[in-house]
Amino acid sequence: MTDTREALVLDFGGVISRTLFETHDLTERSLGLPPGTLTWQGPFAPEGDALWSSMQAGGISERDYYMRRMTEVGGMVGEDWTEFPQFIARVRGDDPAAIIRPEFLDAIARAKAGGKRLTILSNELDLFYGTGFRDKLPFLSDFELIVDATYTGILKPDPGAFAFVTDGLGLPASSCVFVDDQLRNIRGGETAGMACVHFDVTAPGAGYAEALRLLGL
């Protein structure tokens, strides 16, 4: 089966870049907040993040989680951010490439060298990061297809989201390896017929190693 898997399909967010949880120190520095101000840790300490646990249980959406955190942090610095790109611009500045996971860069290099096709399937790439964000990430030119629900309006795990990938690539779902850090999206990928890797943001190397194995690399 690995010989017939031709495409690596990646979520954006925590699969490609270090999460906001991992960069609290950078955020605090950027915003002038005392070290240790930001205590929510999401998947790194779910027992201490009730809002994250609610999201994982389906009580709120992932978008809702991050928008609430944005509002909370904005209030700490006396700023009223109404759109997530405002938050990202303040905390990640002009060099978003600095927080890209090295494991990701290595994996796409190996996939590309192995003749595999690269795709991003995101629920909110431009919604969260802003349209100019892509211009600061030169590796995106290696991706032949970027499906962003900011524009399609169809979010994972809806089957339609995965259909955008298979239709766009002209491949069956069985030819795709899908990597995402949200279990609900993984379930959607499995239902669509893709080989799936539930990415653990606390162990990124293991996730990419499994994805490459499924691709036969």
- pLDDT at residue 137, as a whole number: 87
CA gap 129, 189 in Å, rounded: 24
According to DSSP, the β-strands at 176-180 and 195-198 are: parallel
Domains of the chain: 2-17+100-214 (3.40.50.1000), 24-94 (no CATH)
CA gap 16, 209 in Å, rounded: 14
- pLDDT at residue 131, as a whole number: 81
pTM of the complete model? 0.86
Q: Which sign does the torsion angle of CA 90, 134, 151, 13 carry?
A: negative
Instruction: Report pLDDT digits (tens) over 156-207.
Output: 999 999 999 999 999 999 999 999 999 999 999 999 999 999 999 999 999 9
The set of residues, in sequence order, having a beta carbon less than 8 Å from that of 170 and lying 6+ positions away, is none
Instruction: Report pLDDT digits (tens) over 64-123.
Output: 999 999 999 999 999 999 888 888 888 876 677 778 999 999 999 999 999 999 999 999
Q: Are 204 and 22 in contact (CB under 8 A)?
A: no
